[in-house]
Amino acid sequence: METAIRRPNWLSRLNAVWAPPAVLDFWLSRLNPLWSWGHARARVIELHPEADGVTTLVLRPNRHFRGFRPGQHVTVGVEIDGVRYTRSYSASDMPRADGRIRITVKTVEGGKVGAFLQTIPVGSVLSLGQAFGELCVPDEPAPCLMLAAGSGITPLLSLVNAQAAAGFRRPVRLAYWARTRAQLVQAEALRAFASRHPNFKVHFMLTGEASQAADELEGRIEPRHLTTLLSGDEQAHVLACGSYGFVERVREVLGDRCLSFRAEAFSPPPRVIDASDQGHVRVTLLKSGQTLDIPRNKSLLEALEEQGVKPRHGCRMGICNTCACGKSSGATRHLHDRSVQHEPTQALRLCIQAAQSDLSLEL
């Protein structure tokens, strides 16, 4: 579902003079909080608790949402205490004819948004980004092995549902790791697929409990599991989704015993966050495409200037806001009160912030 971006003609430009999009959005949202001139938004229409600290939300997007493919994620924006936070979640079901999206949200320790979404009132409106992500089942009909750990199950659920809707035209095997049985999401639905379709098999891999049922196995991923998961001589396409550590471990265990390997880690590689201000970090400048190593012990503005980058700047003391720029990832430290900021932001003052971890800046 691609929409060509229309070039503004003189009429639409004239219209924007007396009715700018921000003004139109204000009046549209008075009529219906879901309506907007150009932004995708979604209403929460159902909430289903799935397992310990895991809830599925059914969202109904407005007409600006351009749909998704199974295995993709969407960015959801919520406002907590006046502050907008964004997180991406994989759709946990295949695309539906009614356009509704299902996302499955897990609370993580100390996480704000996950916990907020667990109890969000039905009827609330969220902001939505367009879907992205490359995880998908290859076209050719070889068997497919899916490996999920924890929240990594969500995009794979979407892919499994899509395969089920197509009647499992190829052998699909899913191995799903969780610490305990109570943390498994949609276990019954998966078992139901397995009992109905000879082409679909599911294995629940428990790391914190003993296995009981026939479709349960124990332990973290190890080479011995492969005899079950890659039974016979046939080669399979492998999809894996989980934490960074899980995905790396899968890659190691599999070696070259597969046709293709696609993986998605929902957590970035572990970042060393060191409270001291020694050493260097890597800064990616998204607009100019540069990557630089800069010291952590001085303001970002100073450090970037030393590397020959000249960001816009003014007072150099945090007053005038001229050097504010977007930060899409990474942690920074305020030079006056030493407070650390992890959230992505649209306005980071380079002159009074120092790098704390690797960063991506909109420069």
- In the complex, least distance from residue 81 CB atom to other proteins, rounded to whole angstroms: 4
Angle at CA 242, nearest 5°, toward 333 and 176? 155
Min dist CB 99 to other proteins, Å, is 25
Residue 88 binds other proteins, judged by CB under 8 A: no
Residue-wise burial string across 134-165, b where 16 or more C-beta atoms lie within 10 A, e elsewhere:
ebebeeeeebbbbbbbbbbbbbbbbbbbbbbe
Structure tokens of 79? 């406002």
The answer to whether 321 contacts other proteins (rule: CB under 8 A) is: yes
Q: Does 98 bind other proteins (CB under 8 A)?
A: no
345 binds other proteins (CB under 8 A): yes
- Cα–Cα dist 260/184, whole Å: 27
- Closest contact distance (angstroms) between CB of 348 and other proteins is 9
d(CA 223, CA 242): 18
Phi, psi of 102, rounded to the nearest 5 degrees: -115, 125
Q: Are 323 and 313 in contact (CB under 8 A)?
A: yes
Q: Which of 12, 32, 45, 83 binds other proteins (CB under 8 A)?
A: 83
Minimum gap (Å) between residue 334 Cβ and other proteins:
10
Among the listed ranges 79-87, 132-140, 251-259, 261-269, the one in contact with other proteins (CB under 8 A) is 79-87
CB of 285 to other proteins, least distance (A): 17
Sole binder of other proteins in the list 1, 3, 82, 278 (CB under 8 A): 82
CB of 73 vs other proteins, minimal distance in Å = 20
What number of other Cβ atoms are within 10 A of residue 257's Cβ? Answer: 14
Residue closer to other proteins by CB (options 46, 343) is 343
Stretch that binds other proteins, among 82-90, 251-259, 267-275, 302-310 (CB under 8 A): 82-90
Dihedral of alpha carbons 248, 252, 203, 90, sign:
positive
Q: Report in angstroms how near the CB of residue 171 gets to other proteins at its nearest.
A: 46
In this complex, which beta carbon is closest to other proteins, that of residue 85 or of residue 244?
A: 85
Q: Taking the complex as a whole, how short is the minimal distance between the CB of residue 257 and other proteins, in angstroms?
A: 45
Kindly write down the DSSP assignment for every residue of 276-334, as one continuous string.
Answer: S--SEEEEEETTTTEEEEEESSSBHHHHHHHTT-----SSSSSSS-TTEEEEEE--EEE
Q: Which of 48, 63, 84, 310 binds other proteins (CB under 8 A)?
A: 84
Structure tokens at 159: 């892919």
Burial (0-12, 13-18, 19+ Cβ within 10 Å), 92: buried
CB nearer to other proteins: give 29 or 267: 29
Asked whether position 318 contacts other proteins by CB under 8 A, the answer is yes
Which CB atom, from 319 or from 340, has the smaller least distance to other proteins? 319
Return the residue of 101, 324, 361, 363 that touches other proteins, per CB under 8 A: 324
For other proteins, the binding residue among 8, 12, 27, 122 (CB under 8 A) is 27
CB atoms within 10 A of CB 218: 13
State whether residue 162 is helix, strand or coil. Answer: helix
CA torsion 86→90→94→98, rounded to 10°?
A: -10
**23 touches other proteins by CB under 8 A:** yes
Q: Pattern 2-21, binding to other proteins, x per CB under 8 A?
A: ------------x--xx---
Out of 26, 45, 208, 340, the only residue in the binding site for other proteins (CB under 8 A) is 26
120 φψ region: left (φ > 0), alpha (ψ -120 to 50), beta (else): beta
Residues in 285-314 at the binding interface with other proteins, rule: CB under 8 A? 314
Give the H or E element holding residue 113.
helix 112-118
Distance CA 161, CA 319 (A): 53
Interacting residues with other proteins (CB under 8 A): 14, 17-18, 22-23, 25-27, 79, 81-85, 314-315, 317-322, 324-325, 336-337, 343, 345-347, 349
